[in-house]
Amino acid sequence: MSFPTNTNAIDFDSARLQRFGFAPAHGFVPQPLDYQQLQRRLELQLQTSLEADKILAMFFQSVQQFIPLKALNYKHVGTDLRLEFGERSRHNASYCITHDGEQMGELAFQRDRRFAEVELTQLEALLATLLYPLRNALLYRNANLSALRDPLTGAGNRIAMEQSLTREAEIARRQQQPLSVLMLDIDHFKGINDTHGHATGDVVLRGVADAIKDRLRNIDQVFRFGGEEFLIVLTNTGRESAALVGERLRNAALQLTYPVNGSPVELTVSLGCSTLLPGESPDSLLRRADTALYAAKRQGRNRLEMAG
């Protein structure tokens, strides 16, 4: 069953002119004083944070006081940000937010009855208050992501890995859930670099990283541990399930080929797997996965070994 959807594109350059009275909005209806007060309050409130989730939560709560809403959903592909507030409902008013040609995400308002034209006009005017707070939040988020991301592969870097592993271990202990990690190493990677050059080696690293990401759940995380090694953190995943994931990644690597000068560069990967023990530290969890990885390499490579 499909429901009516209002889909719009809003250009904040025009919206800003309308807000300051230089150009009338189409179908604009003068608003009472309390609506103007809401605009002014939003302009002040939204400047108080650089966190996108807090900014959009404040916006949603404030707008609800004037226009009945059930939910607000937001996604920004560039920083892989997805936020949901409230309960999903039937009717949807969606906006693709742009400024100076820059995509700032998609935002959707939802509720159980259709939006009136006057309400859509009000929402569009209120969205103008999001312009600079949201843009600053996205810049801040992107800067943080860049600081925690390996620039070649897009996987998390060592700093991000250490932070994430510590956090995930604490959550696993508190909620009494399993936590597993996979240490993955590209076999004979030095030979690829020596024979085909570092540019080909970089292509291989990116290809392996993408293949890993494509075969994991959204809650799992991939980090470049160093050189040709990757660490995969598997949330709420026990020993047997982690082994299945490892085999899936090993088989995926076998399907990857990189043609160079007419001949394919084929590769394999070796993996070590460990599952968090009661009272175990994140460092110990990593060491056991690393030991299992070296056991896989000693036993011929292109295999998965489980830590004892």
DSSP three-state, residue 302: coil
* Same domain membership, residue 206 and residue 156: yes
> Among 101, 125, 146, which residue terminates a domain?
146
Q: How far is CA 289 from CA 58, 208, 213, 232, 275, in A?
A: 43, 19, 19, 11, 8
- For residue 199, count other CB atoms closer than 10 A to its CB: 10
The answer to whether the CB of 157 falls within 8 A of the CB of 224 is yes
Encode the chain (308 residues) as per-residue pLDDT tens digits: 333 444 555 554 444 444 444 444 444 444 444 778 888 889 999 999 999 999 999 999 999 988 999 999 999 987 778 899 999 999 999 999 988 888 999 999 999 999 999 999 999 999 999 999 999 999 998 888 778 899 999 899 999 999 999 999 999 999 999 999 999 999 999 999 998 899 999 999 999 999 999 999 888 999 999 999 999 999 999 999 999 999 999 999 999 887 777 778 889 999 999 999 999 999 999 999 999 999 999 999 999 999 98
Q: Is 297 exposed, middle or buried (0-12, 13-18, 19+ CB in 10 A)?
A: middle
pLDDT value at residue 50: 94
Output the CA torsion 75→78→80→86 (10° steps).
-10
Domain with 191, as residue range(s), is 152-306
* Same domain membership, residue 258 and residue 141: no
Q: Tell which residue, 81, 59, 208, has the closest CA to residue 144.
A: 81
* Same domain membership, residue 44 and residue 30: yes
* Same domain membership, residue 218 and residue 95: no
Q: How far is CA 79 from CA 76, 104, 115, 137, 217, in A?
A: 6, 10, 30, 11, 18
* Same domain membership, residue 77 and residue 11: yes
Task: Give the C-alpha separation, 47 to 54, whole Å.
Answer: 11
pLDDT value at residue 8: 56
> Among 146, 177, 203, which residue terminates a domain?
146
* Same domain membership, residue 159 and residue 129: no
Task: Give the C-alpha separation, 293 to 287, whole Å.
Answer: 10
Ramachandran class of 17: left when φ > 0, alpha when ψ lies in -120 to 50, beta otherwise: alpha
Q: Tell which residue, 109, 50, 47, 115, has the closest CA to residue 84.
A: 109
* Same domain membership, residue 139 and residue 157: no
Q: Tell which residue, 82, 76, 87, has the closest CA to residue 110.
A: 87
> Among 146, 165, 187, which residue terminates a domain?
146
* Same domain membership, residue 168 and residue 132: no
Task: Give the C-alpha separation, 121 to 215, whole Å.
Answer: 43
CATH code for the domain of 213: 3.30.70.270
DSSP secondary structure letter of residue 149: B
**Is 240 considered catalytic here?**
no
- Considering its fold, how many domains does the chain have in total? 2
What stretches of 81-236 show up as alpha helix (H) in DSSP?
117-127, 131-147, 158-175, 189-196, 198-214
Secondary element (H or E) of residue 288: helix 282-298
Report residue 271: phi and psi, to 5°. -135, 145
pLDDT value at residue 44: 92
* Same domain membership, residue 136 and residue 209: no
Report long-range pairs for 97-102 (Cβ below 8 Å, ≥24 apart). 97/10, 97/12, 97/127, 97/130, 97/134, 98/9, 98/10, 98/11, 98/12, 99/11, 99/12, 99/13, 99/131, 99/135, 100/13, 102/135
pLDDT value at residue 9: 52
* Same domain membership, residue 186 and residue 128: no
Q: Which of 124, 168, 228, 305 is catalytic?
A: 228
Q: Tell which residue, 68, 130, 64, has the closest CA to residue 97.
A: 130
* Same domain membership, residue 185 and residue 63: no
* Same domain membership, residue 233 and residue 135: no
Q: Is 212 exposed, middle or buried (0-12, 13-18, 19+ CB in 10 A)?
A: buried
CATH code for the domain of 13: 3.30.450
